[in-house]
Structure 1
Amino acid sequence: MPREVRERQMLDAAVAAFARHGYQAASMDDIAEAAGVSKPLVYLYLKSKEDLFMACVRREIRALVAAVRQGTRERGAADQQLWNGLTAFFAHTAARPHGIAVLHRARTQGEPFVQEVTAMRVEITALVTGLLAQAARDTGCDGALAEREVSGLAHALVGAAESLAEWANARAAADGDAAPSAKETAATLMNFCWAGLENLTKGARWVPGPGR
């Protein structure tokens, strides 16, 4: 069997194990058995449990970023590009729930795993910021507002997307029939974001009431 195929089998088994049990509790014996190989072969290919986990994290990051970028590749209005990107994001996270769970677990495993996930979020947030800023400019919003408030909105949007993906996958695991589709989840977030952006561009901002 070609090395790349064997490695993919190992990573598939490892992603599932890390997603279910976490980094510490996942067993290299179980991973090897699920991949249909010996434990020494896992160590020969991927050196250590830490290296195996890092390989899983990096593979899932590459796949997620590629899906989002592919979704926003088609040229058009900024809101349509954002919609396409969100739909691609939620379709990907629904198709690879174990991968998303691994990325979530990586945030709590310390360096260098946190660095990898942080770099991914920076890349995706920059992409979203650009789309929101362009949408704000298209509606006549001044550059200062676009730079100041759209950046915060983009960070909030990325965090909300991650949270919604976990929620949708939990619904799917509990009751597949009750799980929202990728487009339904994307529409929920799009409505939340776009309504806020529209109000910002029109100068309609929420302000606290008297005495607050």
Structure 2
Amino acid sequence: MGAVKTKRMPRAVREQQMLDAAVRIFGRRGYMAASMDEIAELAGVSKPLVYLYLNSKEDLFTACIRREAAALTEAVRTGVRADLPADRQLWDGLRAFFAHTAEHPDGWSVLHLQARTHGEPFVGEVRSMREEIVAFVTRLIAVAAREAHQDPHLAEHEVGGLAEALVGAAESLAAWANATPGVTARQAAATLMNFAWAGLGNLMRGRPWVPPTGEA
């Protein structure tokens, strides 16, 4: 066992240190297998201090989810300039997303794998983050498509469905990229742009794909 550090530091700094350790342990070992002893040792504090600051393993995991979710959404938002064309905004947003998930693989594991497999309230925390990102992508697609079609009333559910599909594809691709040596954030973003923007580009030009007639 490592020696426990006793140097005094501000509570906020100490708490972030605990969260850093917790994200690493939760991300690599999973919520059920992670122990508070491991987290305390990695953080360089006593286990009672972890409980004093963060109450319980469940509260600690929730705090990790909230912190990592806020960091991811902020990275995507700050990576996009609103004055650029829609395809450039999407490209920049995807690059920011893949760069952040690559730089913080343990945090992404907490959000994408661990939190989603252990029920409420963890699933609800991730859902809130995802809804924010989907809403952001929905607005991006809606503005571009409505301008292209000169139609301010383009169906909201159609645009929302496209955003859901795009975010879901980005999530799966991030997990694949993190597990595949040599794949960069730029390459992952380019892959998804090639997959998605060709279809979105046709939609912007008024050439949507139409299902065959006569089918239910």
Q: Bigger CA drift: 154-163 or 185-194? A: 185-194
Q: Contact 2:141–2:159 (CA<8 Å) still a contact in 1?
A: yes
Q: Which amino acid aligns with 1:160?
A: A
* Deviation sequence 1:55-90 (CA, Å, 0-9, x none): 100000110011011012442212211111111111
Are residues 1:203 and 2:211 paired? no
Q: How does 1:108-123 map onto structure 2 within 5 Å? A: 108-123=117-132
Deviation at 1:141, TM superposition (A): 5.6
Partner AA of 1:188 in structure 2: T
Determine the structure 2 residue equivalent to 1:186. 189
TM-fit CA distance, 1:4 = 1.6
Map 1:34-113; keep pairs closer than 5 Å. 34-104=42-112, 105-113=114-122
1:155 aligns with 2:164: yes
AA aligned opposite 2:177: A
Instruction: Write the distance in 2 (CA, Å) between the matches of 1:141 and 1:97.
Output: 42
Instruction: Please identify which structure carries the higher helix content.
Output: 1
For structure 2, which runs of at least 5 residues remain unmatched after alignment?
Answer: 1-8
Q: Is the 8 A contact 2:142 2:154 kept in 1?
A: no
- Cα distance in 1 between the residues matched to 2:150 and 2:117: 39
Q: TM-score with structure 1 length normalisation?
A: 0.90
3-state SS of paired residue (1:23) = coil
Mapped to 2, the partners of 1:129 and 1:26 lie a distance apart of 37
Count of equivalent residues: 206
Cα distance change on mapping 1:141 and 1:199 into 2, 3 Å: farther
Percent identity over paired residues: 65
SS of structure 2 residue aligned to 1:76: coil
How much has 1:138 moved relative to structure 2?
Answer: 3.0
User: Quick one: distance in 1 between partners of 2:40 and 2:170?
Assistant: 33
Counterpart pick for 1:12 among 17, 20, 30? 20
Structure 2 counterpart of 1:192, one-letter code: F
Deviation for aligned residue 1:107: 1.1
Offset from partner CA, 1:118-154 (integer Å, 9 cap, x none) = 1111110010011111121232263454534222111
| Aligned amino acid, residue 115 of structure 1 | G
Q: 1:82 to 1:8 in 2, by over 3 A?
A: same
Distance of 2:144 and 2:191 partners within structure 1: 19
Change (3 A) 1:28 1:91: same
Residue identity in the other structure for 1:119: S
TM-score by length of 2: 0.88
Tell me which of 142, 145, 160 is aligned to 1:133: 142
